[in-house]
Amino acid sequence: MDPVPEEQTAETVRQLRALATPEGAVALARAAALLDDRVDAVAALSRLRAEVGTDLAGPAWGIARQRHKARATFGADADRMLFTSDALEQAGRPELAARRAARLLAGGADSVADLGCAAGTDTIALARAGARVLAVDVDPVARELTALNVEALGIDDVWVVAGDAVEMVAAARGREVAGCGAAVLDPARRAGGRRQLDPDTWSPPWSTVVELLEKVPTSVVKVAPGLDHDRVPAGVEAEWVSVGGSIVEALLWGSAVAETWRRATVVRDGVVHELTADSDPGPASAGPVRGWLHEPDPAVIRSGLVSLVAADLGATLVDPTIAYLTSDAAAESPWVSSYRIDEVLPFNLKKLRALLRERGVGRVVVKKRGSAIEPETLARQLRTDARGTATVVVTRVAGAPTTLVCDVRT
């Protein structure tokens, strides 16, 4: 986390409180209307100052902009909630928070500590799922946001408190933390605007993650999707979640709520698909390129479950080190996207250009795995006036740099 000067924090808290008054609500409504009318920032701010006063104009404009951004994720709630840009950037998806809350509470816990509540996404989901929630944060702005958001959404049974999760977890006893039988921990994984790849630099750090999972078995921790499998403690379930083909979160479930060893959760068109393994299924075997290429969903790859999908599809890897599968048929499966392979050639730009010209292909989408090429650059280099389209996959096949030209349409 970046240290923010105390006066700045106190000023942000004061502004948030001012926006939660009836006058603040009027200022926010005006700012939202100006934003919807696409009035530029300078003109909008000057109109707001004249209409609602200098004190409310700037904060109202700032929050209106965050609400606007938040709508895609938070839906109707966004227009009732308050977010700073920092809190919105750190916020998870409410539908996934709801899913997490339901699973955590299914074990029978009725009180949950949300350790690092930020703008309150998890707190809100937990309270809506029926829990009493102790929302904890070291940051006064986060606490204010959570308190105001909970109130704005008419949610009861939430207590917002100042506290350091590191100390609370250190003091945890009897499978409880801060008097709660369950916990959600979502460490801050950014500092100075950058992702912190080393879990020891998260706030709270990895040592607190492990300690919580050990001491409070009804707990779930949000971690970076790139987390090394070797770090996952024994008896803990690790789950990777993707939405629309992109990985969005990774979770560690404590032993009282763990149901399996690894889980890949793939959300496609609003439908949730889950693939699980109770133990390491090992790697898939490799084989020659056949008629179809299958690109596993990133949640399947990250969770280490590619070999389960390979077995299901009767497919093999194109290379032992590359997560592309190949088989004789297209797959109707949520775990992969399938491409018909039309041409296989060693990677060579000149030969690829000649082949695409011959096939009448002028526009390509480039995919790559195990290659240093830049997909957008290669797609530009291959662009011509020809009407046909194709997907060009640059990868390694049995160790050799190879191009697969797929789904040619002319």
Hey, which residues between 311 and 330 contact ligand SAM (CB under 6 A)? none
Q: Is 219 in the site for ligand SAM (CB under 6 A)?
A: no
CA distances 235 to 39, 113, 146, 254, 256, Å, are 55, 22, 32, 8, 9
Q: What is the dihedral of CA 112, 116, 122, 124, to 10 degrees?
A: 80
Among 109, 134, 137, 327, binds ligand SAM (CB under 6 A): 137
**Residue 146: CB minimum distance to ligand SAM, A:** 9
Among 63, 142, 160, 289, binds ligand SAM (CB under 6 A): 142
**Residue 3: CB minimum distance to ligand SAM, A:** 11
Check if the beta carbon of residue 361 is closer than 8 Å to that of residue 342: no
Hey, which residues between 146 and 185 contact ligand SAM (CB under 6 A)? 164-166
Contact pattern from residue 272 through residue 311 relative to ligand SAM, giving x for each residue in contact according to CB under 6 A and a dash for the rest: ----------------------------------------
Task: Please report how the helices 22-36 and 54-74 are oriented relative to each other, as an axis angle in degrees rounded to 10.
Answer: 60
Q: Which is nearer to ligand SAM, 199 or 296 (CB)?
A: 199
**Residue 52: CB minimum distance to ligand SAM, A:** 28
Q: Is 204 in the site for ligand SAM (CB under 6 A)?
A: yes
Check if the beta carbon of residue 388 is closer than 8 Å to that of residue 361: yes
Hey, which residues between 57 and 96 contact ligand SAM (CB under 6 A)? 90-92
Helices (H), 158-290: 165-170, 206-215
Angle at the Cα of 283 from the Cα atoms of 277 and 285, rounded to 5 degrees? 130
Among 182, 188, 318, 331, binds ligand SAM (CB under 6 A): 188
Candidates 380, 293, 362; CA nearest to 329 is 293
Among 66, 121, 242, 327, binds ligand SAM (CB under 6 A): 121
**Residue 51: CB minimum distance to ligand SAM, A:** 32
Check if the beta carbon of residue 243 is closer than 8 Å to that of residue 255: no
The region of 13-21, 131-139, 324-332, 382-390 touching ligand SAM under the rule CB under 6 A is 131-139
Q: Is 199 in the site for ligand SAM (CB under 6 A)?
A: no
Which residue number places its CB atom closest to ligand SAM?
A: 116
326: left (phi over 0), alpha (psi -120 to 50) or beta: beta
Q: Which is nearer to ligand SAM, 100 or 396 (CB)?
A: 100
Cross-strand pairs, 163 = none
Q: Is 119 in the site for ligand SAM (CB under 6 A)?
A: yes
Candidates 59, 171, 177, 57; CA nearest to 109 is 177
Residue 374, SS3 per DSSP: coil
Binding site for ligand SAM (CB under 6 A): 1, 90-92, 115-116, 118-119, 121-122, 136-139, 142, 164-166, 186, 188, 203-204
